Amino acid sequence: MLQTGVTRRNGLQKIGAGLALLAWAHDVLAGSQLEEPLSDAVRSALSAALRAGPPPIPEFAYPSDQQRYQRWLEAMQARLVKKFPRAQGRQEFLQTVWYESQRAGLDVALVLGVIQVESNFRKFAVSRAGALGYMQVMPFWVRELSGADPSVLFHLQTNVRFGCVILRHYLDREQGDWVLALGRYNGSRGKLPYPQAVLTAQRQWK
């Protein structure tokens, strides 16, 4: 079938939009958070992450809370089999993400959404901007605190602790505005594609 000029233009526009989306998706991994002064509370929380061991096994005051956690853990493990083939690795990852999310007062589905968009669950992901690990944390956060080797950000709990504390810090600075906080986390404050991608992923992990 012959294409009209309008049809051809529409096709080219769709291709262009698709290429732009692919280019943006690649840039998502840049993770260019900005270096800035930290409050004592944020500095203390991040410093503790450099000395943290494995997260504690969750304890619950009520059996119903324990049951909800177990249902969540089983559901998430089933969804992450391809990313973490070893059952022990899946459980450790999910236990850590759950614990650090609760500690920072964040929705665990949101944190999983950030990890999905930032690193696609790759522990040793490195962006073009130099951000590291699951939550694509910039090395200057470590140097700011202790001058330690930034490779500590490849440690599961250290990385997730840093990512959650930084995201909480940005959310507080933006007075609860998730779009601005997520944009700040990615170094794209005021732009919609990154926050929209994370919030869409968050719904997938509910």
Q: Which of the residues are catalytic? A: 118
Length of the chain: 206
Q: For the chain, first and last CA: distance in Å?
A: 45
Reduced to 3 states (helix: H, G, I; strand: E, B; else coil), residue 132 is: strand
Q: What does the alpha-carbon distance between residue 143 and residue 4 come to, in Å, rounded to a whole number?
A: 59
Contact between residue 111 and residue 160 where contact means Cβ atoms under 8 Å apart: yes
Phi/psi for 49 (5° steps) reads -65, -30
Q: Which residues of 24-62 are buried (b: 16+ CB within 10 A; e: fewer)?
A: eeebbbbbbbeeeebeeebeebbeebbeeeebeeeeeee
